[in-house]
Amino acid sequence: MPAWTTPDPIALHARAQPDRLACVDLASGRRWTYAALDDAIQRAVAVLENHGVGQGQRVAALARNSADLVILQQAAMRLGAVFVPVNWRLAAPERQAILADCDPALLVHDTGLDVAPPTGCAPLDVARFQAAVEEAEPAPRRPLPEADRPSIILYTSGTSGQPKGVIVTEANAFATAVNFGVIGRVGHDSVVLCDAPMFHVIGLITNLRPVLLKGGTVLVSSGFEPGVTNGRLADSALGVTHYFCVPQMARMLREHAGFEPARWTSLVALFTGGAPNPAADITWWLKQGVPMVDGFGMTEAGTVLGMPLEAERIAAKAGSAGLPAPMVSLRIVDDAGNEVAPGEAGEIWLAGPNITPGYWNRPEETARAFSAGGWFRTGDMAKRDEDGFVTLVDRRKDMFISGGENVFPAEVEMALLAHTDVAEVAVIGVADERWGEVGRAFVVLKPGRMLDPAALASHCAARIARYKVPKEFLAMEALPRTVSGKIQKHLLRRWGKSG
């Protein structure tokens, strides 16, 4: 059977609708039709070839969002190279380690470079890359590489403290484009505002691929700023239809003085993922007239679950991550790999064309990530109701056992977030002589509120079993988070041991 070659929707739309607006770089005001974007990508292929980049070699990027990164990634894809966006917010030693691991032939950066490129890696700043693209002649078009070759490496945000490179093929990215496109009702007339960083799966794939597949328009923002984003969502000239963010970003939008959701007249929905989203918050957004569509995805699988867009359905299932996307096969299993009954907690296992083939340079971790039957073990615990809606319970590794009973911190956190004094919370299990393990809650209070452990314990006891109620409550000014909004519980555990 012939190998499936890489899909190239931009090239298709450049011929089918060449004058349609494809991309806007909001920071610079530059705009590309599909014909112009296709031409820029082919010019960028020539720039990469001039720098000696060939098939299979890595092209790293250490830069804030820009349309230039979209062009760079697509050019690497057409050439058969591998695009590696690096989190510029990491400390220099962390970035250095990632660059050493992926060993790029070219490093495109946008600020003063404070890390040494690996031996044989040429540095190139974004401004020079942009100028080179404008000056270059388009490279001759060649057959596209096979779709199952590594095309992107995304380093995980490191909630465990050890980032690893997730391999994403173009087949994986195409499947995510279809999955989110169906769930999110992305169409030819969709306009997606991309605030999320492009070193993250949400920014680089979920925001970009569905709308470019459909021939819509992507608005590339250099980064999230609540006041600016509020203004853009309310700007009828931009006409934003789809906006994807983590719950912390949504909270910052609603707390900003410029928050006017009544003016978000073109918005189809506010899509959230990357962190738990309390049902109370979802209900609040619905009352503002904004469908908040929660979902679940991961770097290794792209879009996995999503809620329907109907407000009544969202309200009835608030707190759920929704239904499996069309190209996803999902099982919820016990420790023996057997399906659990509806309402019972188990680990999510996945299969489908959206699933990564593995981790860069880590064959042993790749082997451990898959079952004997080829299912990807997510490490996420969930329950499925009688209607098929899936609710995330917690990370498998975060579960602890208190007095012989399983305790999922995410369930405790949701109970605490329902308290009027609590802004953010994280719960971990700590050793206890009597019960084996008990809960310790790290609480960020709302402005002007004082920590009252007895009141928080009483509040929890009215909502969850007593063995789940934390035995200790500690006030925090802020929780340590990755750039994607995930709480770094390994740091809280370390802090607890040293504190």
Domain membership flag for residue 1: no
CA dist., res. 438 & res. 347, Å (int): 22
Q: What is the DSSP letter of 48?
A: H
| CATH code of residue 465 | 3.30.300.30
CB count within 10 Å of CB 131 equals: 12
Do 249 and 297 fall into the same domain? yes
Q: Which domain holds residue 92?
A: 9-390
Q: Token pair for residue 442?
A: 């790290």
Do 211 and 303 fall into the same domain? yes
Residue that finishes a domain, picked among 390, 413, 434: 390
Q: What is the DSSP string of 380-409?
A: EEEEE-TTS-EEEEEEGGG-EEETTEEE-H
Domain membership flag for residue 3: no
Residue that finishes a domain, picked among 390, 419, 442: 390
CA dist., res. 495 & res. 499, Å (int): 6
Residue that finishes a domain, picked among 390, 417, 448: 390
Q: Token pair for residue 148?
A: 């199952």
CA dist., res. 297 & res. 495, Å (int): 29
In order along its 499 residues, the chain shows pLDDT tens digits of 577 889 999 999 999 999 999 999 999 999 999 999 999 999 999 999 999 999 999 999 999 999 999 999 999 999 999 999 998 888 788 889 899 999 999 999 997 788 889 999 999 999 999 999 999 999 999 999 999 999 999 998 554 456 799 999 999 999 999 999 999 999 999 999 999 999 999 999 999 999 999 999 999 999 999 999 999 999 999 999 999 998 878 988 999 999 999 999 999 999 998 776 888 899 999 999 999 999 999 999 999 999 999 999 999 999 999 999 999 999 999 989 999 999 999 999 999 999 999 999 999 999 999 999 999 999 888 999 999 999 988 777 787 878 767 787 888 998 899 999 999 999 999 988 878 889 999 999 999 999 999 999 999 998 887 889 999 999 999 998 876 677 888 888 877 554 4
Do 153 and 224 fall into the same domain? yes
Do 261 and 290 fall into the same domain? yes
| CATH code of residue 373 | 3.40.50.12780
**Per the structure, how many domains does the chain have?**
2
Do 334 and 436 fall into the same domain? no
Do 253 and 343 fall into the same domain? yes
CA dist., res. 217 & res. 223, Å (int): 18
Sheet (strand 191-194) strand order: 30-33, 21-25, 217-220, 191-194, 242-245, 269-272, 292-298, 302-306, 323-324
Do 242 and 172 fall into the same domain? yes
Do 281 and 423 fall into the same domain? no
